[in-house]
Structure formats: C-alpha cells, structure tokens
Amino acid sequence: MSDFLLTQVINYGAPLLGIIVFIGGLGIPLPCTVLVIAAGAFARQGILSWQTTALISIVSVVIGDSISYSFGYFSREKVLRRFSGSPRWAQAEESFQKWGPLSIFFSRFLVTAIALPVNLLSGTTAYPFRKFIIYDLLGEIVWIFGYGGLGYLFGSQWELVSDFLSNFGGVVLGVLIIIVSFKQAWNWQLKKQQPSM
C-alpha cells in the first residue's frame, strides 16, 4: 500500500499528503510516517515544495486529531455512565490530567501507535481542548519537520531512515508496555500486602 500511496503523492503532491495524514489523525492506520519521510526526500529532489507540504500536512493532521478528540468528548456521557463509579476510572482521569500533556506531545512522533487512544482519552476525560491543541500542534510540528527533515537530509536513502524509525518506535512502545505492566504488578502486590481493616 505504501508504494501505491508514494506514487500518488508524487503525482498529486501536498494536497494528497494532507488528506492522508488527516485520515491518519482520525485513527485509520496508514503509513503516514513513511510518507512524511518520503515527502522530505521528494522536497529535496524538487518534486514537492517543502513549505507548502509542511503547512498543509500540519494543518490536516491537527484537524484529524481534533476530530478524534471530539469522538472521545462526545462519547463522554456513555463512558461515564459505565465507568464513572469505578476507582480505576478516577485514577485514569487523575493520571491523564497529570501526564496528559506529555502523552499528547510524545504520541505525535515518538510512540505514534498510541496517538488515537490518547486523542480519545483526552476527549473522554474532558482534558481542556485548548491545551490539547497546543500540545498536539507542537508534537505534530516535531513530527512533520523532524521526520520530513530526516527524509530531506538523507534524500535517496530515506527508506533506511524509515525502517530504522519504525523499529525504534516499536522498541519504545514495548518498553512503555513493560514499564506500565511492572507498575501495575507492583501496585497490585502492595495492595495485596496491606492489612484489611
């Protein structure tokens, strides 16, 4: 699929890339990062204008992220009816209010696999939309200019960069899952050891 999309981006330019990253912001799995890196390489070759491509991509992906935030926000009542009485939900809301900015920012470019759940959780926990947009925009700017910049810098070798970053993202996600699992096990063990009243 990514080869087909690459060809289409070469043919139709920045507007098509904008549509693709917009759809990615909605949570539909597309090879957006690969395309952003390739777009940087295409800009170096003069196929795409880097200014126009970057601007369209940033605006498009932020709109997509905002819509996925709104999915969480408008389903909040259903979620609260089901989970609001549980201590886990209260803990999730409290944790997100504390760590939400970092989650939003880093899930844009470092651990993109959790971007959609973070968007939905942002909306569902009623994390302030203005703050969401700020951290989302900053993270997406890092994504577009950072990854697109690597494609520009490495030019014809952009596929090697893409492979490395894909593997690196998987490693980061794996490490995060291990850390969260250990933390949950640790908390469970501590609760188990507390004497019951």
Dump pLDDT digits (tens) for 15-69. Answer: 999 999 999 999 998 888 888 988 998 898 899 999 999 999 999 999 999 999 9
Dump pLDDT digits (tens) for 70-124. Answer: 999 999 888 888 777 777 777 777 778 888 899 999 999 887 888 998 999 899 8
- Report long-range pairs for 5-12 (Cβ below 8 Å, ≥24 apart): 5/30, 5/31, 5/35, 6/34, 6/35, 6/38, 9/35, 9/38, 9/39, 9/42, 9/48, 10/42, 10/47
Rounded CA-CA distance 189/173 in Å is 24
Dump pLDDT digits (tens) for 171-192. Answer: 554 555 566 566 666 666 666 6
Kindly tell me if the per-residue pLDDT of 193 is higher than 90: no
Lowest mean pLDDT among 4-8, 23-27, 141-145: 4-8
Check: CB of residue 18 under 8 Å from CB of residue 52.
no
